Chains A and B, each alone.
Chain A
Amino acid sequence: GNSVTQMEGPVTLSEEAFLTINCTYTATGYPSLFWYVQYPGEGLQLLLKATKADDKGSNKGFEATYRKETTSFHLEKGSVQVSDSAVYFCALRGGGATNKLIFGTGTLLAVQP
Chain B
Amino acid sequence: EAGVTQFPSHSVIEKGQTVTLRCDPISGHDNLYWYRRVMGKEIKFLLHFVKESKQDESGMPNNRFLAERTGGTYSTLKVQPAELEDSGVYFCASSPFMGGDDTQYFGPGTRLTVL
Contact = CB atoms under 8 A, between A and B. Distances in A.
Interface residues of A, number: 21
Given A4-B42, A89-B43, A106-B40, A100 B102 contact: no
Interface string B42-70: 11110010000001101100000000000
A31 to B, nearest CB: 13
A97 B106 contact: no
Interface residues of B, number: 29
Contacts of B105: 46
Contact of A103 (B42, B58, B103): B42
A43 B106 contact: yes
From A4, A36, A44, A89, name the one whose CB has the most chain B CB atoms within 10 angstroms: A44
Interface string B82-115: 0000000001010100100011111111000000
Contact of A104 (B33, B42, B98, B106): B42
A100 B48 contact: yes
A101 B104 contact: yes
A42 B106 CA distance: 10
B26 interface: no
Interface string A8-37: 000000000000000000000000000010
Contacts of A106: 37, 40, 42-43
Contacts of A4: 42
Interface string A84-98: 000001010000011
B91 A43 contact: yes
A101 B41 contact: no
A36 B106 contact: yes
A70 interface: no
B44 A103 contact: yes
B21 interface: no
Contacts of B108: 41-43
23 contacts: A43-B91, A43-B107, A43-B109, A44-B91, A44-B109, A46-B103, A46-B105, A91-B43, A98-B48, A98-B55, A98-B58, A99-B98, A100-B48, A100-B56, A100-B59, A101-B35, A101-B45, A101-B93, A103-B35, A103-B42, A103-B43, A103-B44, A106-B37
